[in-house]
A and B are shown apart, each in its own frame.
Chain A
Amino acid sequence: MIKQTPLLEIKNLTVQFHTADGIVHAINDISYYVNKGETVAIVGESGCGKSVSVMSILGLIPQPPGEILHGEALYKGQNLLSMSEDELLAFRGQEIGLIFQDPMTSLNPTLTMEKQLTEAIIKHKEVNKRAARQIAIEYLGKVGITDAEQRLKNYPHQFSGGMRQRAMIAMMLALNPMLLIADEPTTALDVTIQAQIIDLAKKIKEETQMSMIWITHDLGVVAELAERVIVMYAGEIMEEADVISLFHSTRHPYTMALLQSLPRVDFRRDTERLQSIPGSPPSCYNVQPGCPFANRCSFVIDKCWEKKPPLLAVAQEHRAACWIDVTTGEPR
């Protein structure tokens, strides 16, 4: 495969938050990339830094308390981190679209859907109100909201959760961004509505070749949608691979443990107990030397406590941060 220049490339990003209780090391020196037309999933548990790793590059974390210590975020070769707020404004929406977990909090309850949907279109596309309204209706239809003309007169509370999320997606699509970032977009929704959103995302991908970053904690959603997966834990990238390798030739003990702890809807129960991961994720206040997963890992060796394993290639396009080769159980 010829290595293409990625659409978005994050290099050595470190973000901290200064709080009353001390410094939170949200993400430590992470690097990743997103190619054009590619869907990348970032998975991890709450507090692992998966949202911060994306929000920080768009200037969406308040500073202070947040602080980007170092790093680069190259989007089409331009460093987003060195841009002013005004320059970033042009990128958000137009080039990079965002969808959040709870569409109720990202919509203004006192304005009609029409007002909110057309505002962004008028601003970014430089069209008049009537044209913007036509575009809004067209895209609402595309995401499966019937009777869009009438629906535009509604307020957000008159939409159901799934419809609000679809309306947000329609708004993003109307701006036709190159990259769509979705931060847990289906977490608050029922499985039946989640299935609708996943199918919609697949359809969009086929039609537009849009790149997507899908932030989630649900490995089922990852398996359905992603082409490449980044697994995060305690502010670090643990493993990165294409979706099939990640699920079928897993190389990091954390990913393995996560997959084993999941019951399957399509299998009979074959084990007495679920394989749970003992303990809980480490505190982000004081970072210990060594691997952050060491205290919960079943493969742990002495070296793990002393030195942090680097994220190294274990196969083609497959990186893992572990001192152990999990296929043999021997140190690498």
Chain B
Amino acid sequence: MTETQGASDNSPLVVVDNLFMHFPINKGIFMKRAVSHVRAVDGVSFQIRQGETLGVVGESGSGKTTLGRTILGLYKATSGQIEIGGIKVDPASRHQMKEIRRGSQMIFQDPFSSLNPRWMVSSIVGEPIRVHKLSKDRKDREKKVSELLELVGLSSFYLNRFPNEFSGGQRQRIGIARALASNPKFVVCDEPIAALDVSIQAQIVNLLEDLQDEFGITYLFIAHDLSMVRHICDRVAVMYLGLLMELAGKDELYENPQHPYTKSLLSAVPIPDPIATRDRKRIVLIGDIPSPINPPSGCRFHTRCPIAKEHCALVEPAWREIKPDHWVYCHEVEPKYIPKG
């Protein structure tokens, strides 16, 4: 997909507004009470446009997987609003959730644990069709499953095999076929290529793009491989400790990063070219990502930030649009802005 195609239809399919997802840490056996919370997603707002691929990148523990799962209603959000295609995501409403789950699917990271080892491929891929009653009868379902398998580049000959008979790349294809079975408009890809070998990664990425071109699927692409994200996404969001740090179109973000975290993240990616590597300046972050149980005060990046000022530890930055479609969470980015309070 080219960029112009991605931006052609600007109406948002997914709207996330001020989303919080806190997990309680309980103490006590009989009188369970929450002593503190893991603030996995801590106030995130963004939109995903129809037919585009939005990338979410960040270190492990930044909350990107939780964000993806909360959007699909796999967790009940602590607060905030999520809408997919105009339908509110609310895990409390069974009727609504069924509708959401037909139209939105997920591809998981680990192709080994995300497929039931006791089920044959025909049952795994056929389950969404059965659950959502998308086929007339058993025969019709098997026909649909065969078509799906061929769509993802597997032979329908594999229908009656078990997951253990497949390689990692093939399993990921089965997972993709299952995600597509209910004809979704929106698919959350949670690190779909991280567990695969380099030579297989390109195959799966090409497959995901072909499917997008054919069916106009909108992707939320969660990954830590910044090179692959630049290739596949239209816009990219950078996440750190449960908050978005920066959000922009991919070339804008990669060529003109504004947030110091984005800058250091990009400079940390090794480039497969020994000559280009030599002239690069690297911003090495000190230390590790702090605990999301007790995130730092003010700007939560200030403990590792190379340009942190005194006020960064006191005042939390605003999530602001510094130029059209380029959002940033930092006081120090031009034009500077420090909220009162």
Cβ of A101 within 8 Å of any chain B Cβ, yes or no, is: no
A281 to B251, CA, bound (A): 34
| Contact A223-B272, Cβ < 8 Å, known A195-B282, A277-B199 | yes
Residue contact A243 to B231, C-beta cutoff 8 Å = no
Stretch with Cβ within 8 A of A (4 or more), from B70-78, B139-147, B221-229:
B221-229
Chain A interface extent, by class: 35 or more
Q: Is the CB of B273 within 8 A of A223?
A: yes
> How far, in whole Å, are A224 and B282 apart by their CA atoms in the complex?
12
Q: A199-B282, A280-B169 are in contact. Are A244 and B274 (CB under 8 A)?
A: yes
CB distance from B280 to the nearest CB of A (A): 8
| Option from A46, A191, A248 in Cβ contact (under 8 Å) with B275 | A248
Contact A247 B272 (CB under 8 A): yes
Let me know if A190 and B60 touch, CB within 8 A: yes
CB distance from A318 to the nearest CB of B (A): 14
Instruction: Find out whether the CB atom of A265 lies under 8 angstroms from the CB atom of B202.
Output: no
In the bound complex, do residue A280 and residue B200 qualify as a contact, i.e. CB atoms below 8 Å apart?
A: yes
* Distance between B324 CB and nearest chain A CB, rounded to angstroms: 20
Stretch of B40-48, B90-98, B112-120, B261-269 at the chain-chain interface: B261-269
Give the most central of B60, B198, B228, B275: most A CB within 10 Å.
B198
Given contacts A160-B288, A190-B60, A244-B275, contact A276 B203 (CB under 8 A): yes
Contact of A243 among B202, B255, B266, B274 (CB under 8 A): B274
Across the interface, do A220 and B270 meet the contact criterion of CB distance under 8 Å?
A: yes
Complex CA distance for A219 and B203, rounded to whole angstroms = 18
Contacts of A244 in B (CB 8 A): 274-275
Contact of A266 among B170, B265, B276, B289 (CB under 8 A): B276
Chain A residues 145 to 165 lying within 8 A of chain B, measured CB to CB, are 160, 162-163
Q: Are B274 and A221 in contact (CB under 8 A)?
A: no
Interface residue A5 (Cβ < 8 Å from any Cβ of B) = no
Within 8 A of B (CB), among A253-280: 257-259, 261-266, 268-269, 272-278, 280
B25, CB-defined interface residue at 8 Å: no
Q: Which of B201, B270, B285 contacts A261 (CB 8 A)?
A: B201
Whether a CB of chain B sits under 8 angstroms from the CB of A217 is: yes
Q: From B231, B264, B271, give the contact of A223 (CB < 8 A).
A: B271
Note all chain A residues with C-beta closer than 8 A to B270. 191, 194-195, 198, 218, 220-221, 223-224
**Residue B197 CB within 8 A of the other chain:** yes
- Determine if B274 and A247 form an interchain contact, defined as CB atoms under 8 angstroms apart: yes
* A275: B residues at CB distance < 8 A: 202
Give chain B residues whose Cβ lies under 8 Å from the Cβ of A46: 197
Asked if residues B197 and A191 are in contact (CB atoms below 8 Å), the reply is: no
The one of A217, A248, A265, A296 that contacts B198, using a Cβ cutoff of 8 Å: A217
Interfacial residues, chain A to chain B (CB-CB below 8 A): 45-46, 160, 162-163, 190-196, 198-199, 217-224, 243-244, 247-248, 257-259, 261-266, 268-269, 272-278, 280-281, 296
